[in-house]
Amino acid sequence: MDAEAGVVGADQLPRRQYYMNLLLLAYQSFGVVYGDLSTSPLYVYKSTFAGKLRQYQDEETVFGVLSLIFWTFTLIPLLKYVTIVLSADDNGEGGPFALYSLLCRHAKLSLLPNQQAADEELSTYYRNGFAPRNGSAPWLRRFLEKHKKMRTVLLLIVLCGASMVIGDGILTPAISVLSSMSGLQVRATGLEHRSVVLLSCIVLVGLFALQHRGTQKVAFMFAPIVIIWLFSIGGIGLYNILHWNPNIYQALSPYYMVKFFRKTGKDGWIALGGILLSMTGSEAMFADLGHFTSASVRVAFVTVIYPCLILQYMGHAAFLSKNTFHMPTGFYDTIPVVGSQAVISATFSIVKQCHALGCFPRVKVVHTSRWIYGQIYIPEINWILMVLCVAVTIAFRDTTLIGNAYGIACMTVMLVTTFLMALIVIFVWQRNIIFALIFLAFFGSIEAVYLSSSLMKVPQGGWVPLVLAFIFMSVMYIWHYGLRRKYQFDLQNKVSMRSILSLGPSLGIVRVPGIGLIYTELVTGVPSIFSHFVTNLPAFHEVLVFLCVKSVPVPYVSPDERYLVGRIGPKEYRMYRCIVRYGYKDVQRDDDNFENMLVMSIAKFIMMEAEDASSSASYDIANEGRMAVITTTDDAGTPLAMRDFNGLADSLTTRSSKSESLRSLQSSYEQEYPTVSRRRRVRFEVPEDDDMGQQVKDELMALVEAKHAGVAYIMGHSYIKARRSSSFLKKFAIDVGYSFLRKNCRGPSVTLHIPHISLIEVGMIYYV
């Protein structure tokens, strides 16, 4: 009994801290996740009765519309997203690509060929309690893995969902701000509509200008506004129910939906395009999951969002049932911008995931919070969204037209999520395929009906998300296709190990002091860039490291699992391979001590290899030998002593391989870029250890001397061309599309934070 009391007392403080953090995140989620859902009452009824349904403005029709809104809001946001979909997070990350990443890990569905068996040993690779590559329908998994076309179709479906999320990021601010600003005309009757559009554009520019402040600051700014708004509309809704029509609760019966469709027929089906706006923003709950937790999102929705919005929709319907020819506008002048933040933040997360998984050109990713790792800001995407959003606002000037476009984008994302969730149930949750089919049939049929209604409004603005999705899908697929073809070319043209071994330890060239880091996308073999460089300049560094920086389909990779190190050829060749693995939410920071970590990892591998410590490492058998996972955060058993030293002059004297002119350039470069000079300066030393073998000591000494002599980064500057025999589509995709994207995105040296003073680029032409 005393033991149990002690355990409870010990857990009480962490539990209290957990609930405090939960409430804090739930509070912040109001300002980011729920702005869109909270402002939906501004335009749901207006859009629903904007078409031919205007002919049926009577109490019975209003009851039917409310019944549809209630059950739609209950089944999709509450049952589907809050109850089911939020449970399918990928280690705390959400969105279409998070689901796709889960599927690629539990079945071989990825088209990227750089995956290794060692990746499956990552602690975050498989969900706890689920066996690898298992499921209720192994025949379905084998079918998808065997047919490349099916995997391509799956990727296109995911890209379609991601493109529609980006489209949401354009349309949501436009409809939210314009509908809010339109309310100004209620009090300022002399205000012209073009002035409203101009004010909306000014507010939009200000909103996007705030994004660099970060999700946390924006959340704290908007959260109290959204909470006050929600309680206000909930209270006003309750008042309207009591004052205008207390019997409005009867409309919650599904019977009124049946009566609605019997009476309105096709006109009622087309009006569903307005009703679906009541659940737009639900997809942001899942896509924004990386900024918060599933528990905090659930708490906020169940305790505040759902009851307040249901009361508002009921009160609004109670008013309309007695005032059928009046649209209430009392709330239009309350909040102009909060509905936009949810999808803007979600767009940043989606683009980062697409980029990390090889489906988006290289962009700059900025961490906006020191404490919450998933909160990011992408400048290029932010300003592109702003320009397109202002353009949509100026072009349409009508919330009904924007709502038509908005509905198609949201329903497409929801339908894609439903399809991917059905596969998650089979491959990840390992439930019977019957459950997946029930889930797909139930929610898919509801969303398909709403999507079919929205597609009827393609001529009235609905074409916008289709065009935007086509553009973004084309960009992402062409980039992915170009990267895949380039990797396959490298794989087919890599240098054979037999030819490397025939050259001897000197490799047939002059070996100069220093470390040469040869960047390659290959995880095995020697890339063709090496022979291309040696052919044109027959000299190379004393220590060669073939470095592969790759993304794996997990959100985060622990620092202890990030480095895979192996050897190429015999020990006297001084050639190593290092694979640095990042998750799709990991971001390399400018202050990372990458060179020091790399040298320490290689040194640990040398010691591990000498001791044959196979029990403490996992290996990937390849032609050139084994690769070991190197722990970088554990200082125990460190083979090298590392001491700090300051002073630019001291650092320059150690680089014996550099001429005076290069040293002068190095000094100028470090003065020009303070972040480089602020990095930690260390000097490695091989400790005097009698237990260490002489061969190991000599290899460590050679590594240390090479590090002190200097590090050079060798990277291929590739020009990719389609073969003459290629089809027209392939030539257009490679020679025009991929070439344009590669020239106009950030270079790999910039995204990898490579010092320009130490960079050597080797030009190569790839005929794919």
Give the tens place of pLDDT for each residue, 671-693. Answer: 555 555 555 567 777 777 666 77
How do residues 272-328 score in pLDDT, each as one tens digit? 988 998 998 888 888 877 777 888 999 999 999 999 999 999 998 888 888 766 544
Confidence class of residue 97 from pLDDT cuts 50, 70 and 90?
A: confident
Confidence class of residue 66 from pLDDT cuts 50, 70 and 90?
A: very high
- State the pLDDT at residue 64: 93
Q: What is the pTM of this model?
A: 0.82
Residue 753 pLDDT > 80: no
Q: Tell me how far apart the alpha carbons of residues 653 and 151 are, in angstroms, rounded to a whole number.
A: 55
How do residues 19-58 score in pLDDT, each as one tens digit? 888 888 888 888 778 877 887 887 788 888 877 787 887 8
How do residues 154-202 score in pLDDT, each as one tens digit? 999 999 998 988 888 888 888 777 877 776 665 556 667 778 888 888 8
Residue ranges of domains in the chain: 32-482, 494-614+624-645+679-767
Q: Tell me how far apart the alpha carbons of residues 669 and 739 are, in angstroms, rounded to a whole number.
A: 31
Residue 40's contacts (CB-CB under 8 Å, 6 or more residues apart) are: 277, 278, 279, 280, 281, 309, 339
- State the pLDDT at residue 284: 80
The DSSP string of 417-432 is: HHHHHHHHHHHTS---
- State the pLDDT at residue 371: 53
Q: Phi, psi at residue 286, to the nearest 5°? A: -85, -40
Contact predicate 173/36, CB 8 Å:
no
Cα R_g (the chain), whole angstroms: 30
Task: Please provide the CATH number assigned to the domain covering 32-482.
Answer: 1.20.1740
Q: 715-732 as b/e, with b when 16 or more CB fall inside 10 Å?
A: bbebebebeeebeeeebe
Residue 263 pLDDT > 50: yes
